[in-house]
Structure 1
C-alpha cells in the first residue's frame, strides 16, 4: 500500500509541476530560514557550556547602589578568591584572574600583540581546557612560565615544538613555554592567546600585592562542590564586603557561568535578561517563518481541491477508506517536506558563509552529531504533519456520490479557513515590517544624536613601552604637531570609547553623607577639549600656563548637576582624600554606552605616566594615508620594540551598535523571506478564488466587463484581508516595539510612519501578487469556461 501511495504522490507532483515547485520552494525557504536561525540560537545558547562542571561554576558579581541606581559588574577584589576558598565549605575551587589584556610577546624578530590572562592554578581546574602538550596539574607554579594556545604557538614558532622554548613579555620578562592547549572555543566568554601565572602579574604590578577589598580589579570564578550548596553559598557571600570593610556598601552574588553571556543585564542586583531577549526574538521568528511556510502549503494544496475531488470520489467509490486517503495526503506532504528539506540544506550551506561573515562567527552544521539529526527529523515530521493536516482532513472529507454526479463542492468553510490563514500570514509580515523600520529609526537616531565631540579624523594610538614615560610622550606630541600630519594632540587614560575607572570616593560641600555617588574618572592631557572638538561650558581646561593644575580637576555637566553645584568653578572636591579645585566644566560627551545617559565624570591632569592613549586630530589638509604613515614612522622611532597600535575613534564607536545592527539586518533578511512566503500563500488563495469564479468572470466579460473591472473585483477582497491583517498587527507591533525601546534611555518616539510603511508595502505586495494571477484569468477566452454550459 505504501508503495502504491508513493507512486501516486510522485505522479501528482510531476503532473502539477507549477504547484509542486511553489510548494517545495516555499517550504525550502521556510525550513532554511528556520535552520539558520536555530543554528545561531544554538550557538549563542552553548556559550561557556563546554566545560565539564559548567553547571556548578559561577562568576562572582558585586552590586552597589549609587546615583539612585543599582550597578552590578563582575569585577572583584584580588582577595575575594582566597577568602571564598578558605572560609566557604561549599566551595570546591575559587580562582582569581585578570580579564584578557593586550601585551607584547616577542620571539626573535617576531613581535605580536596578544591577549593575555594572568591566572592562578584553580583557573584551569574550573575551566578544564584541553591540553595538547604539558601537564595541566603542574602548570602556573613557576613565575616565569607561560601556556600558549595552539594557534598562537604556531604564530610564534611555526611547526616547531614550542615546549621549553622562551618568549619575552613586554621586552622585559623571559618566560619558558611549559604547555600548549587548544584555542579557547569561539563560544567562550574568555578569549585569550596565552595564560601566565598570577604571581607574574603581582610582580609586574606592585599595587596588586595589597589585599584591598575596595579595589575591584579582577575576575573571580567559583566552582561549588554541589549545586545544592548554591543557596547557602549565595546568601553567605552577599555580605562578604561588609564583613571585611564596614565602609564598603557593596553586596556580592554568584552568577551562573552558563548565563554570563546571555543574561548580562541587571536591575536592583538581579539578572533580568540581556542577549537572551534577542535570542527569544529569533526563536519566535524561526517558528513563525516555518509556520507561514506550512500555511502556504495548506493554501496551495486546498486550492487544487476541485481538481482532486474526482480522484477522491473514485477512490472512495472503489473501497478506499477515509483513513487510507488521509495517509495518502500525509505521505504527499511528507514527500514534499523531504524534498524541501534537501533543498533547504543546499540553501543553508550556500548562505552560511554570508551569515558567518555578517555575524562574525563560524556557524557549521555538525553532521556527526546525532542530536542534530534527531532534531532535524523531528522538525521535518512536525513540518510535514502541520503542513499536510488541513489538506488531508479537508480533501478526504468529500462525498463520492456528490462529486461524481458533478455536484458543486461547498467551499465556503475552506475559503474562510484559507482567508484566516492568509490574514495570519500578513499579521506577522506587517509586524515584522513595523519592527524593522523602528529598529532602523532607533539605530539612526542614536548614531546621529550629538555625542558631544567631533569624531571626524580623530585617531587614538596606544601608549606602549618607552612611551609610558611622560617626557617621551611630550616629545612625541611635539614631533607629531611639527610633522603637519596632525593639528592637535592630547592624552587619555583609557580607550576613548570604552568604559574605564570609576569611584564613589568623592566628597564635596553639601553632599548628603548617606548618598553614594559613582563618578567616572579619566586622566587627560593639555589641549584636550580642542583636540576632541568638545566645548568648555564654563571656566577653562588644563594648561601649562597654570603650574598648579596638578591640584585641579574638571567636571562634566552631568557631574555638576549630580553634585548640585550652583557655582562649580572654584568648588573644592575631595578626590581620594586629596583636596582639588574645579577649574572648568566640560560639555557632556559619550565615552561608554550611546544608549544611556552620560555618567558624572571627573577629569584630572595626566602627570604620573598613566596615559594609555594618545588622541590626535589628523590634518584636513594632508592625505590620510601619508599622515598615518608619518605617524607610524614617528611612533616607531620613539618606541621600535612595539608595533604601532592605532585606530580611528569612529570605528571603535561603531562597535557599540553591533547588536542592534545585527537585529535589524537579520529582521530585514528573514522578514523579507517571511513576506515572500506570505506572497506565495496569497497566490494560493488567488489561484483558488480564480478557479472558483472562473465562470462568473467569463459571464462578466461577455456582458462587457473590462480587464481593469475584473482586476478591481478580484483585488478588492484581498485588500480587505490585508486591511484586517494590518488592523490586528498594528497594536501587536506597538506593544512589542514599545517593550524593546523601553530598554534605552535615549529612544526614538513611535510615530505613524512605520505603520504607514507597513500598510503601504502589504497592500502593494497583495495587489501585485493577486494581479499576476488575476490578469491571466481576466484575459482568458470566456468560451473556454462556458462552452459546456
Structure 2
C-alpha cells in the first residue's frame, strides 16, 4: 500500500510541475530560513558550555548603589577569590584572573601582540581547557612561565615544539613555555592567546599586590561542589563587602557562567535579560517563517481541490477509506517536505558564508552531531504533518456521488479558512515591516544624534613600551604635529569609545552624605578639547606645563548637574582624600553607551593620572594614507619593539551598534523571505478564486466588462484581506516595538511612518501577486469557459 501511495504521490508531483515547484520552493525557503536561525540560536546558546562543570560554575558580580540606582558588573577586588574559597559554604574552587589584555610576546625577531590573561592555578581547574602538550597539574606554579594556545604557538614557533622554549613578555620578562592548549572556541566569553601566572601580574604591576576591597580590578570565578549549595553560598556572598569594609555598600552575587553571555543586562541588581531577548525574537521569527511556509502549502494544495475532487471520488467509489486517503495526502506532504529539506540544505550551505561574514562568527552544520539529525528529522515530520493536515482532512472529505455526478463541491468554508490563513500570513509580514523600520529608525537616530565631539579624521594610537614616559610622549606629540600628518594631538587614559575606571570617592561642599555618586575617571592631555572637537563650557583647559595643574581637575556638564554646583569653576573637590580645584567644565560627550545618558565624569591631567592612548586629528589637506604612514613611522621610531596599534575612532564607535545592526539586518532578510512566502500563499488563494469565478468572469466579459474592470473586481477582495491583516498587525507591532524601545534612554518616537510603510508595501505586494494570475483570467477567451453551457 505504501509503495502504491508513493507512486501516486510522485505522479501527482510530476503531473502538476508548476504547483509542485511553488510548493517545494516555498517550503525550502521556509525550512532554510528556519535552519539558519536555529543554527545561530544554538551557537549563541552554547556559549561557555564547553567546560565539564559549566553548570556549577559562576561569575562573581558586584552590585553597587550609585546615582539613585544599582550598577552591576563582573569586576571584583583581588582579595575576593581567597575570601570566597575560605568563607563561603560549598565552594570547590575560587579563582581570580584579569580580563584579556594586549601584551607583546617576542621570540627572536618575531614580535606579536597577544590577548593575554593572568590567572592562578584554580582557574584551569574551573575552566578545563584541553591540553595538547605539557603537564596540566604543574602549570602556572613558576612565576616566569606561560601557556600558549595552539594557533599562537604556531605563529611564534612555526612547526617546532614550543615546550621549554622561552619567549619575552613586553621585552622584559623571559618566560618558559610550559604547555600548549587547544584554541579557545569562538563561543567563549573569554578569548585569549596565552595564560600567565597571577604572581607574574603582581610582579609587573606592583599595585596589584595590595589587598583592597575598594579596588575592583579583576574577574572572579567560583565553582561549587554541587548546586544544592547555591542558595546558601549566594546568601553568604551578599554581605561579603560589608564584612571586610564597613562603609562599603556594594553586594556580591553569583551569576551562572552559562548565562554570562545571554543574560548580561541587570536592573536593580538582578539579571533581566540581554542577548537572550534577541534570541527569543529569532526563535519566534524561525517558527513564524516555517508556519507561513506550511500555510502557503495548505493554500496551494487546497487550490487544486477541483482537480483532485474526481480522483477522490473514484478512489472512494472503488473502496478506499477516508483513512487511506488521509494517509495518501500526508505521504505527499512529507515527500514534498523531504525534497524541500534537501533543497533547504543546499540553500543553507550557500548562505552560511554570507551570514558568517555578517555576524563575524563561524556557523557550521555539524553533520556528526546526532542531536542535529534528530532535530532535523523532528522538524521535517512536524512541517510535513502541519503543512499536510488541512489538505488531507479537506480533500478526503469530498462525497464521491456528488463529485462524480459533476456537482460543484461546496467551497465556502474552505475559502474562509484560506482567507484566515492569508490574513495570518500578512499580519506577520506587516509586523515584520513595522518592526524592521523602527529598528532602522532607532539605529539611525542614535548614530546621527550629536555625541559631543567630532569623530571624523580622528585616530587613536595605543601607548606601548618606551612611549609611556611623559617626556617621550611630549616629544612624539611635537614630531607628529611637525610632520604635517596631524593638526592636533592629545592624550587620553582609555580608548575614547570604551568604558574605564570609575569611583564613588568624590566629596564636595553641599554634598548629601547619604548620596552615593559614581564618577567616570579619565586622564586627559593638553589640547584635549580642540583635538576631539568638543567645547569648553566654562573655565580653562589644563596647561601644557601640567606641573602647575597637579591638583587640578575638570568636570563634564553631567557632573556639574549631579553635584548641583552653581559656580563650578574654582569649586573644591576631594578625591581619594586629596583636595583638588576644578578649573573647567567640558561639554558632555559619549564615551560609553550611545543609548544611555552621559555619566558624570571627572578629568585629571594625563601627566599625573597616566595615559594609554594618543588621540590625533589627521590633517584634512593631506592624503590619509600618507598621513598614516608618517604617523606609523614616527611611532615605530619611538618604540621599534612594538607593532603600531592604531585605529579610527569612528570605526570603534560603529562597533557599539553591532547588536542593533544585526537585529535589523536579519529582520530585513528573513522578513523578506516571509513576505515572499506569503506572496506564494496569496497566489494560491488567487488561483483558487480565479478557478471558482472563471465562468462569472467570462459572462462579465461577454457583457462588455474590460480587463481593468475584471482586475478591480478580483483585487478588491484581496486588498480587503490585506487591510484586515494590517489592522490586526498594528496594535501587535506597537506593543512589540514599544517594549523594545523602552530599553533605551535615547529613543526615537513611534511615528505613523512605519505603519504607513507596512500598508503601502503589503498592498503593492498583494496587488502585484494577485494581478499576475488575474491578468491571465481576465484576458482568457470567454468561449473556453462557456462552451459547455
Tell me whether the two structures share a fold, i.e. TM-score over 0.5. Answer: yes
Partner of 2:177: 177
Q: In the alignment, is the contact (CA less than 8 A) between 2:45 and 2:262 conserved in 1?
A: yes
- The CA distance in 1 between the partners of 2:736 and 2:5, in whole Å, is 46
Match of 2:212 in 1: 212
Per-residue deviation, 1:609:
7.0
How far is 1:546 from its partner? 7.3
Q: How many Å apart are 1:160 and its aligned residue?
A: 0.6
- Equivalent position of 2:164 in the other structure: 164
Instruction: Give matches, 1:294-443, under 5 Å.
Output: 294-443=294-443
**Corresponding residue for 2:492?**
492
Taking a change above 3 Å as real, the CA distance of residues 339 and 511 of structure 1, as seen in their structure-2 partners, is: same
Note if contact 1:118-1:197 (Cα within 8 Å) is conserved in structure 2.
Answer: yes
Could you list the per-position Cα deviations for residues 615-656 of structure 1 after superposition, in whole angstroms to 9, with x for gaps in the alignment? 000001111001000001111111111111000000000000
What SS is found at the alignment partner of 2:550?
helix
Q: What is the CA-CA distance between 1:547 and the residue it aligns to? A: 4.8
Distance 1:295 1:506 in 2: 63
Residue 510 in structure 1 maps to residue 518 in structure 2: no
**Is 1:110 matched with 2:78?**
no
Deviation at 1:608, TM superposition (A): 3.4
Could you say which residue in structure 2 is the equivalent of 1:525? 525
* Counterpart-to-counterpart distance in 1, 2:730 and 2:167: 62
Q: Once the two structures are superposed, what CA deviation does each residue of 1:317-345 show, in whole Å capped at 9, x if it has no partner?
A: 00000000000000000000000000000
Q: Does 1:71 align with 2:35?
A: no
Deviations 1:153-181 (A, max 9, x none): 00001111000111000000000101000
Match in the other structure for 1:18: 18
Provide the residue aligned with 1:463 in structure 2.
463
Match of 1:704 in 2: 704
Find the residue that maps to 2:233 and give its secondary structure: helix
Structure 2 residue 448 is the aligned partner of structure 1 residue 448: yes
Instruction: State the distance in 2 between where 1:545 and 1:537 align.
Output: 22
Distance in 2 of aligned mates of 1:635 and 1:119? 31
Q: What's the CA shift for 1:89?
A: 3.2
2:550, 2:608 within 8 Å by CA — same for their partners in 1?
no
Look up the match of 2:576.
576
Counterpart CA distance in 1 for 2:527 and 2:610 is: 17
SS class of match (1:459): strand
Q: Write the deviation string for residues 125-179 of structure 1: whole angstroms up to 9, x where unpaired.
A: 0000000001111100000110000000000011110001110000000001010
Q: Which residue of 1 aligns with 2:751?
A: 751
CA contact (8 A) 2:546 2:605 kept: no
Equivalent residue runs for 1:650-729 within 5 Å: 650-729=650-729
Give the Cα separation in 1 of the matches to 2:105 and 2:427: 57
| Residues 523 and 609, structure 2, Cα contact 8 Å, conserved in 1 | no
1:97-149 superposed Cα distances (whole Å, 9 cap, x missing partner): 00000010111111110000000000000000000001111100000110000
Q: State the distance in 1 between where 2:478 and 2:557 align.
A: 31
Q: What do residues 293-323 of structure 1 show as CA deviations (whole Å, max 9, x unaligned)?
A: 0000000000000110000000000000000
CA distance in 2, matches of 1:285, 1:547: 60
**Structure 2: distance between partners of 1:217 and 1:261:** 20
Distance in 1 of aligned mates of 2:456 and 2:338:
54
1:255 is matched with which residue?
255
Note the residue ranges of structure 1 that are not aligned, 5 or more in a row: none
Paired residue secondary structure (2:213): coil
Q: Structure 2: how far apart are the matches of 1:637 and 1:393?
A: 80
Cα distance in 2 between the residues matched to 1:87 and 1:220: 15
Q: Which residue of 2 aligns with 1:779?
A: 779
How do residues 59-208 of structure 1 correspond to structure 2 at under 5 angstroms? 59-208=59-208
Matches of 2:613 and 2:712 in 1, distance apart? Answer: 67
Moved over 3 A (4+): none
Whether the 8 Å contact between 1:60 and 1:253 is mirrored in structure 2 is yes
Rounded Cα–Cα distance in structure 2 between residues aligned with 1:144 and 1:542 = 41
Q: 1:546 to 1:363 in 2, by over 3 A?
A: closer
- CA-to-partner distance for each residue in 1:506-557, whole Å, 9 max, x for gaps? 0000001011000001000000000000000111111236753111110000
Match of 2:540 in 1: 540
CA contact (8 A) 1:468 1:609 kept: no
**TM-score computed with the length of structure 2 as normaliser:** 1.00
SS of the residue 2:673 aligns to: helix
Asked whether the 8 Å contact 1:76–1:216 carries over to 2, the reply is: yes
The root-mean-square deviation of aligned C-alpha atoms, in Å, is: 0.7
| Structure-2 separation of matches of 1:87 and 1:720 | 69
1:556-580 deviation per Cα after TM superposition (whole angstroms, max 9, x unaligned):
0000000000110110010111111
How far apart in 1 are the matches of 2:104 and 2:192? 13
Q: Displacement of 1:233 after TM fit?
A: 0.1
Structure 1 pair 545/187, CA: closer, same or farther in 2 (3 Å)?
closer
Match of 2:737 in 1: 737
Inter-partner Cα distance in structure 1 for 2:780 and 2:85: 84
CA distance in 2, matches of 1:351, 1:686: 31
What is the alpha-carbon distance in structure 1 between the residues aligned to residue 72 and residue 771 of structure 2? 57
- Checking the alignment, whether the CA contact within 8 Å between 1:470 and 1:608 is kept in structure 2 is no
Deviations 1:369-389 (A, max 9, x none): 111000000000000000000
1:610 Cα deviation after fit: 1.5
Q: Deviations over 1:393-438 (max 9, x none)?
A: 0000000001101111110000000000000000000000000000
* Matched ranges for 1:261-280 at <5 A: 261-280=261-280
Structure 2 match to 1:562: 562
What CA distance in whole angstroms lies between the structure 2 residues aligned with 1:341 and 1:202? 57
**Helix, strand or coil at the partner of 1:162:** coil
Q: Which runs of 5+ in 2 are unaligned?
A: none
- The superposition leaves residues 663-698 of structure 1 with CA deviations (integer Å, 9 ceiling, x where unpaired) of 000000000000000000000000000000000000
Give the whole-Å Cα distance in 2 for the aligned partners of 1:238 and 1:623: 57
The aligned counterpart of 1:767 is: 767
Q: CA deviation digits over 1:720-776, x for unaligned, max 9?
A: 000000000001000000000000000000000000000000000000000000000
Quick one: distance in 1 between partners of 2:88 and 2:403? 80
2 CA distance for matches of 1:110 and 1:684? 65
Partners of 2:268 and 2:231 in 1: CA distance: 19
What is the rounded CA distance, in whole Å, between the counterparts of 1:446 and 1:46 in structure 2? 31
More divergent stretch after superposition (607-616 vs 41-50): 607-616
The answer on whether the counterparts of 1:469 and 1:609 sit within 8 Å (CA) in structure 2 is no
TM-score where L is the length of structure 1: 1.00
- CA–CA distance in structure 1, aligned partners of residues 429 and 547 of structure 2: 66
How big is each residue's C-alpha offset from its partner over 1:568-610, in whole Å with a ceiling of 9 and x where there is no partner? Answer: 0110010111111111110000000000000000001011372
How far off its partner does 1:88 sit?
A: 2.1
Tell me the secondary structure at the aligned position of residue 537 of structure 2: strand
After superposition, the Cα gap between the structure-2 partners of 1:456 and 1:279, relative to the gap in structure 1 and judged at 3 Å, is: same
Pairwise CA distance, 1:86: 1.4
SS of corresponding position for 2:616: strand
> Which residue is 2:592 aligned to?
592
Find the aligned partners of 1:606 and 1:689 in 2 and give their Cα distance: 76
